């Protein structure tokens, strides 16, 4: 019996990186999972392998968190037994581009704000009433160190993660009296597809980000998320900031030279 047997955990952005690692870590604890992301074929494959390996139930749904009608329809059409969501992991997110603000690409700005901020709000707005009605639930947001201090050329990604930080704090204030727990896990550098997405498939440029440093793994972050989710009922972990030992801020990075 895992520590989360019979719990239902809803994960956004479960096809890659941190979301996928959370799916595996929570499956290993016996949780039943609602896995969502846009790439349904990747999701279906993951669901099959996890349900087989961990003998858990998985419900998967194609979901673009930017589409509020789709968010509504995915949540309202969940079978009754799947609506008892215990934990929501708001993970779906991305950075696009790396340029001075006067040269920024407006479509990239829209995509980051629509996904990281509005998407997180849409999903939370649909799931929270189900939790409040049951007088229990836990939302774990994936923020970033980018939401604690800005760095050159980070501008709109920073703004989106500062917004996640503010939303997390607001959720905590508005929801503690309704018995809903709120946590945020805010990583520094994690080696996932994040930089490949940021640089639109330029793997060489993405690789350079992690040059000479041992970055965090997606599993390291899943471990922190799991820590938040497995505390006794009277404990709320408000915030975990987690960075590689060699990264003291977004710009203070000790790199080994060859």
Q: What residue ranges bind ligand 8X3 (CB under 6 A)?
A: 144-146, 154, 157, 188-189, 250
- The catalytic position among 20, 54, 157, 181 is 157
- Clarify whether 52 is annotated catalytic: no
d(CA 164, CA 107): 20
Q: Which stretch binds ligand NDP (CB under 6 A): 27-35, 57-65, 70-78, 174-182?
A: 57-65
Task: Select 156 or 175, whichever has its Cβ closest to ligand 8X3.
Answer: 156
Least spacing, CB of residue 216 vs ligand 8X3, in Å: 10
Least spacing, CB of residue 38 vs ligand 8X3, in Å: 20
**Partner that binds at residue 197, options ligand 8X3, ligand NDP, none, CB closer than 5 to 8 Å by kind:** ligand NDP
Q: Is 147 left (phi over 0), alpha (psi -120 to 50) or beta?
A: alpha
DSSP E strands, 63-200: 87-90, 137-142, 180-187
The residues with which 61 forms a beta bridge, in sequence order, are 36
- Clarify whether 161 is annotated catalytic: yes
On whether the CB atoms of residues 200 and 162 are closer than 8 A, the answer is no
Least spacing, CB of residue 3 vs ligand NDP, in Å: 23
| Residues 132-171 close enough to bind ligand NDP by CB under 6 A | 142, 144
Q: Which two tokens stand for residue 28?
A: 């290993």
**Partner that binds at residue 38, options ligand 8X3, ligand NDP, none, CB closer than 5 to 8 Å by kind:** ligand NDP
**What per-residue string of b and e applies to 193-208 under the rule 16 or more CB within 10 Å gives b?**
bbbbbbbeeeeeebee
Choosing from 10, 54, 194, 199, the residue that interacts with ligand NDP (CB under 6 A) is 194
Q: Which helix or strand (DSSP H or E) is residue 184 part of?
A: strand 180-187
Q: Which residues are the active-site residues?
A: 157, 161
């Amino acid at each position: 019996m895992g520590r989360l047997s019979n719990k239902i955990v809803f994960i956004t952005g479960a096809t890659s990186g941190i979301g996928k690692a959370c799916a595996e870590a929570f499956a290993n604890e016996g949780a039943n999972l609602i896995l969502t992301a846009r790439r349904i074929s990747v999701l279906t494959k993951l669901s099959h392998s996890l349900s087989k390996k961990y003998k858990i139930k998985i419900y998967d749904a194609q979901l673009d968190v930017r589409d509020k009608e789709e968010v509504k329809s995915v949540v309202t059409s969940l079978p009754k037994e799947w609506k008892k969501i215990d934990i929501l992991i708001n993970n779906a997110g991305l950075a696009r581009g790396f340029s001075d603000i006067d040269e920024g690409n407006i479509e990239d700005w829209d995509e980051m704000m629509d996904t990281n901020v509005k998407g997180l709000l849409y999903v939370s707005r649909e799931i929270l009433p189900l939790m409040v009605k049951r007088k229990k639930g836990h939302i774990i947001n994936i923020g970033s160190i980018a939401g604690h201090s800005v760095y050159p050329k980070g501008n709109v990604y920073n703004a989106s993660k500062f917004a996640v930080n503010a939303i997390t704090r607001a959720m905590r204030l508005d929801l503690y009296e309704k018995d809903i727990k709120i946590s945020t896990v805010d990583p520094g550098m994690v080696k996932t597809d994040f930089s490949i997405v940021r640089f639109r498939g330029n793997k060489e440029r993405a690789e350079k980000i992690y040059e000479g440093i041992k970055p965090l793994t997606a599993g390291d972050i899943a471990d922190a998320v799991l820590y938040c989710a497995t505390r006794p009922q009277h404990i709320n972990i408000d915030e975990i900031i987690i960075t590689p030992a060699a990264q003291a801020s977004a710009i203070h990075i000790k790199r080994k030279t060859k």
